[in-house]
Amino acid sequence: MLSISKNSLITFATQVAYFAITFVSGVIIARVLGPAGKGIYSLTILTYNLTVIIAGLGIPIFNACVAGKKKYSVDSLLSNSLVLTLTVTVLLGLACGAVYSQRNIFFQDVQWQYVVFAFAVAPLGLFTESLRGVLQGLNRIKEFNMTRLIAPAANTLALIVLLAVLGLGIGWALLSWAISLVVGLTVAIIVISGLASIRLMYNPGLLRESVTFGLQAWLAQIIGTLQFRFDVFLVGYFLGAADVGYYTVALAIAEFIFYIPAAIGTAALPRMAVADDREAARIACLGCRNAFFLSVLVALCLFATGRFLTELVYSPAYLPAVEPLLILLPGVTILSMAHITTGYYNGHVGKPWINTALASVSLTVNTLLDLLLIPQMGIRGAALASTVTYITVMGVAVIVFTRVAKTRIVDMLVIRPNDFHPYLALFNALKARGQAAVKP
């Protein structure tokens, strides 16, 4: 239990560092490239992320689940990952040719070369994620988290030089990102080489089992990604790159709310996993109502300061992002509880299909609303579609949770006086530490 808590703390610290690093790079991209350049960059990265997930077939998750079980040697898992990556590289090469032949059907204002670029670098990310899956399965949590930070840190440093200092354009920003992927993969290979060797060996039985197992999580991965980001593709298709730039800024600010619930979910997961049904339900309800309460506070702050923050951090050029930001806040606030219920279904109940089903409903509803509202209302329509979807689906999720956990809705949503005790204890501890620090 102690090791789980320690690993959760390390992972949370990594999440904070990752947010800080990517926030800085996002601000640099936004301020130097402007809304249209920011939109092109965001669509390229999003295409890459989705390509890595689709092409991976769930193999990184398979590696994480079996590496520690000793059924297959680490060498075998690494070889299997290499075979998959090389196969995907060939297939993506063919896909690049298909993109060229259909180059007029993609996003407005976004040249087809950016889609090809995303496909071309995807194998780097796929092999890196496969190696990280092995590290996670071997419980090498420090190494696992370190390899997550290397690429974005390298990218941010390069962006500071190439964009913030030299004032170069979108091509250099994407080149910086591609180089950071190479750096990240190189570090992952060096780390994993201390544990095993990477050789090209074909094991049909292992490949078959890894794909069969991985596909079970693969669909959930794809749906989960599209649930939150398919609207960005639709904005790019219907409206163009500049609107993508505005909308992604609104998303970045609104989804800041998620970091507190994610931290609560990370801390609650190991406790829910080992608890009995009654205790797990109590922990989940405690986490949900505190996540919701804190998210409401953050949302109110963002509502009051959203325009000021947007203009200060991203520049006045991004003021069109303010209205969709304000529309997004209620939905994101409600959805904050999903960070705890997701862990409850995965870690305690052992029914991840519930999360997949809810995400599928969310994706379907959101897509239909996006197709209806984006052409009529622009990025305000995308934001409204997301908020309506989040509130609707989370309403269903709350009902499902109360039935599975055999608890009441009020236990999930309404903060209790004794819930404030940890906050008061933390405040008093910080106050005492501050007073001790100023004493001569």
The per-residue pLDDT for 423 is 58
Locate tokens 């109590």: which residue? 282
Q: At residue 4, does pLDDT exceed 50?
A: no
**Apex 135 CA angle, 25 and 269, nearest 5:** 80
Looking at residue 186, what is its pLDDT?
93
Mean pLDDT within 392-411: 88
Per-residue exposure over 182-202, b if at least 16 CB sit within 10 Å of its own CB, e if not = ebbbebbeebbeeebebeeee
Helix or strand holding residue 414 (H, E): none
Stronger pLDDT, 136 or 404, i.e. the higher one: 404
Asked if pLDDT for residue 202 goes beyond 80, the answer is: no
197 versus 278: the higher-pLDDT residue is 278
**Tokens coding 411:** 């236990």
| Cβ–Cβ < 8 Å for 194, 172 | no
Residues 6+ apart with CB under 8 A from 229: 46, 50
The pLDDT of residue 5 is: 44
Residue type, 251: L
For the record, the structure tokens of 321 come out as 């992002």
Q: Which of 7, 1, 340, 343 is nearest to 145 (CA)?
A: 7
* Cβ burial, residue 207 (10 Å; 0-12/13-18/19+): middle
Residue 437 predicted with pLDDT over 70 = no
Residue 60 has pLDDT above 90, yes or no: no
| Mean pLDDT within 175-197 | 88
Write down how long the chain is. 440
Handedness of CA 229, 231, 234, 239 (dihedral sign): negative
How confident is the model at residue 438, as a pLDDT? 54
State the average pLDDT over residues 347-373: 85
Distance CA(34)–CA(21), nearest Å, equals 20
pLDDT at site 405: 85
Question: Which pLDDT score, from 0 to 100, does residue 101 have?
Answer: 63
The better pLDDT of the pair 131, 225 is held by 131
d(CA 393, CA 396): 5
Mean pLDDT of 57-63: 79
**Which of 7-21, 160-174, 202-216, 222-236 has the largest mean confidence?**
222-236
Structure confidence at residue 243 as a pLDDT band (50, 70, 90): very high
Residue 3's pLDDT is: 43
Kindly tell me if the per-residue pLDDT of 207 is higher than 90. Answer: no
User: Using one digit for the tens of pLDDT, what is the confidence trace for 320-344?
Assistant: 999 999 999 999 999 988 888 887 8
Nearest 10 degrees: CA dihedral of 262, 264, 270, 274?
-130
CA 84 to chain centre: 23
Query: Does residue 391 have a pLDDT over 80?
Result: yes
pLDDT surpassing 60 at residue 426 = no
Task: Examine the pLDDT at 212 and tell me if it is beyond 60.
Answer: yes
389 pLDDT exceeds 70? yes
Give the E-state strand segments of 285-430 in sequence order: none
Average pLDDT over residues 238-259: 89
Whether the CB-CB separation of 354 and 410 falls below 8 Å is answered with no
Q: Collapsing DSSP states into helix, strand and coil, what is residue 260?
A: helix
pTM exceeding the 0.85 threshold for the entire prediction: no
Q: % helix / strand / coil in the chain, to the nearest 5?
A: 90, 0, 10
**How far from chain centre, in Å, is Cα 218?**
15
Q: Which residue has the higher pLDDT, 55 or 235?
A: 235
Handedness of CA 226, 229, 235, 241 (dihedral sign): negative
Across 407-429, average pLDDT:
72
Closest by CA to 287, choosing from 252, 307, 260, is: 260
Q: Which amino acid is at 436?
A: A
